[in-house]
Amino acid sequence: MSNYLSNIPLAGPALFILTVFIFALFKPKYRPLHNTISELALGRYGYIQTANFILSGLLILVLGLRLVSTQEHLYGSVAVSVMGAVLLLSAVFRTDPITANGSTTTGKVHNGLFFIGIFGILTAQFVTGFSSLGSALGVFSLACGTLTLLGLPITITRQTYMGLFQRALVLVVMVWISGFAASLLGW
């Protein structure tokens, strides 16, 4: 039973993605192709995404700490922990609506947190990939790193379909976290 319980944090990335994709379909006046993931936390029913930030963030943070304890691929493990912390903090520092004229301080902090988390994962993907050349984890990490590197500038400059590109980027990041963790934990 304790082995089963110790694997619960692996659900964090899947929980985040499932909640983001499903909730976006049902939230009134929300357009998943245009609105950012963080905008799900605004307005009526925003507590659902806020809870998603908290629960998924906590699970990913615990997962990262568990990976750190393996002493393998330490940089990637710390990056996973940081991403968990970023998600937790995203529940506190809310984004500004994409339609807002200007940014609030909390919106700027929220956006800064996003870049910290994404940059940490991006560099971890390449560090893991290059340090594991020739292995399945190395190839997987380099492929995800390339997609993340290509997706990031598109996401931040593509205003018309920002929601679509951000979802694709976050999906790659969460898939990498899951695959990285599964590899280190021997799945």
Count the domains in the chain. 1
Show pLDDT as tens, one digit a residue, over the chain (187 residues): 456 666 778 899 999 999 999 999 999 889 999 999 999 999 989 999 999 999 999 999 999 999 998 888 999 999 999 999 999 999 999 998 877 777 899 999 999 999 999 999 999 999 999 999 999 999 999 999 999 999 999 888 877 888 899 999 999 999 999 999 999 988 7
Q: Round to whole Å and give the CA distance between 176 and 68.
A: 16
Among 7, 47, 4, 15, CA closest to 174: 15
Neighbours of 100 (CB within 10 A): 10
Residue 85 · residue 57 · CB < 8 Å: yes
Kindly report whether the global pTM for this prediction surpasses the value 0.75. Answer: yes
| Structural domain harbouring 44 | 2-184
The angle that helices 46-69 and 11-26 make with each other, rounded to 10 degrees, is: 170
